[in-house]
Amino acid sequence: MLYLPSILDAAVPGIYRLSARAVQLIKRDGLFADGGNLYLARKNGGASWLFVYKDRVTGRRREMGLGPVHTVSLQEARQKAEEARKLLWNGGDPIAAKRGQRAALLQQRTFGDYADEFVKSIVPGFKNEKHRYQWEQTLRVYATSLRPKLIGDITTADVLAVLEPIWRTKRETAQRLQGRLERVFQAAKVAGLVQDNPASWKDKLKVHFGTKKKAAEHHAAMPYTDLPAFMVELRQRTSLSALALEFTILTAARTGETLGATWQEIDLKQKLWTVPAARMKSGVEHVVPLSARAVAILKALPAGKPSAPVFRNAATGKPFSNLAMLECLRQLRGRTFTVHGFRSAFSDWVGEETHFPRDVREMALAHKIENKTEAAYRRGTALKRRRELMEAWAEYLES
């Protein structure tokens, strides 16, 4: 609902209706027209300027922020609105133009500056100082030649020049560097800084270097370094099979465990998923600590009776086919990988990138422990550590 204030500057009918005094005196929430598509927007004690117009293609109402009142004056807001009106008159789109200007400025950033900012942004996901140090050192020591270059100018040839000298002599370091470069450029792509990912293994580098590890192909497991980029693509899908696949990856669960899950196994308050022994390969009840993202997925699903499957066909009420998640994966990555392979990726990540003990990892994967006394002890003491582990895994996947 639009409100016209009682304190107006009526010197120009239909435009410039507000006055500087009116801007200061209006305190109630609402939109207050100055004319010429410019509005003063007040909400919850805050005040800002909006340019409101109709999209020429879709006909939808669009709002472009022009800045807060405490920073942008009435006169400055009117000047910005006039520029936007001229752009509309000439067939342009103000929001698209604003985004283009921002992207042009961002593209002037160097790889070094952006990489440093990216590492800082994912630091909360690091559970130990060593992990952060390895990231920083890898990108500083081995990617030195890339750091002064504008991130939008870097090509696959530049990336190859960094990787080739160490690919044969320091294979593990080179592979980690490639994975980290790919993640940095993937984040830059999402931010609109680059059009393409010059460090993409699948699309750019695999044809040059061949396979990373034969074991990865044998086990049909996606390398854990590729998962953050994969998760960005997966989360763009809204299907139930995509949510089920993401939940499976987050919990390091087996396909059958996810598709057989019922609401009576879920405790959202305690953030726990208790899989009964009858549905476990080991024949032992398995308690899975749920990360914040896993809980969010569950809360987004339609609730059902305690015995109802969590991931079920809306029409029949029955669990999805065990091929549903695999089909979703194939649509994104072809037939290269399997859903079960994400458990291997999780295991590799824990072993190579964290300081969590091996037994905590084995408990998270529900691997059977033959010694009954040891198994009982671990069930009683490892839950807290496993909760930390699964939260760290979720943060890594989102980084």
Residues 369-381: what's their mean pLDDT? 54
Is 314's pLDDT higher than 80?
A: no
pLDDT at residue 370, as a whole number: 54
Among 9-18, 238-247, 348-357, the least confident range: 9-18
End-to-end CA distance of the chain: 40
What is the tens place of the pLDDT at every residue in 77-112?
Answer: 999 999 999 988 888 888 888 777 666 665 578 999
pLDDT at residue 247, as a whole number: 96
**Residue ranges in 210-309 assigned as alpha helix (H):** 214-218, 227-234, 240-251, 255-259, 292-300
Binned at pLDDT 50, 70 and 90, residue 143 comes out as very high
**Percentage of the chain lying above the pLDDT 90 cut:** 39
Among 14-23, 103-112, 253-262, 283-292, the least confident range: 103-112
**Domains recognised in the chain with CATH numbers:** 2-104 (3.30.160.390), 111-211 (1.10.150.130), 229-398 (1.10.443.10)
What is the tens place of the pLDDT at every residue in 191-225?
Answer: 778 888 999 998 899 888 876 654 333 447 899 99
**Which three-class secondary structure state does DSSP give residue 68?**
strand
Q: What is the DSSP letter of 152?
A: G
Q: What are the tokens at 72?
A: 């942008």
46 or 373, greater pLDDT? 46
Beta bridge partners of 2: 31
Residues 176-183: what's their mean pLDDT? 92
Residue 199 and residue 116: Cα distance in Å, rounded? 17
pLDDT at residue 374, as a whole number: 52
Binned at pLDDT 50, 70 and 90, residue 376 comes out as low
Q: What is the DSSP letter of 280?
A: S
Per this entry, what is the length of the chain? Answer: 399
* Burial bucket for residue 15 (CB in 10 Å: 0-12, 13-18, 19+): middle
Residues 276-291: what's their mean pLDDT? 88
Is 375's pLDDT higher than 70?
A: no
Residue 56 and residue 54: Cα distance in Å, rounded? 6
Query: Is the CB of residue 220 less than 8 Å from the CB of residue 342?
Result: no
Please tell me whether the overall predicted TM-score, pTM, comes out greater than 0.85 for this model: no
Residue 114 and residue 192: Cα distance in Å, rounded? 13
Residue 32 and residue 23: Cα distance in Å, rounded? 9
Residues 282-308: what's their mean pLDDT? 90
Is 31's pLDDT higher than 70?
A: yes
pLDDT at residue 351, as a whole number: 87
The mean pLDDT value of the chain amounts to: 84
Name the nearest CA neighbour of 337 among 205, 249, 257, 270: 249
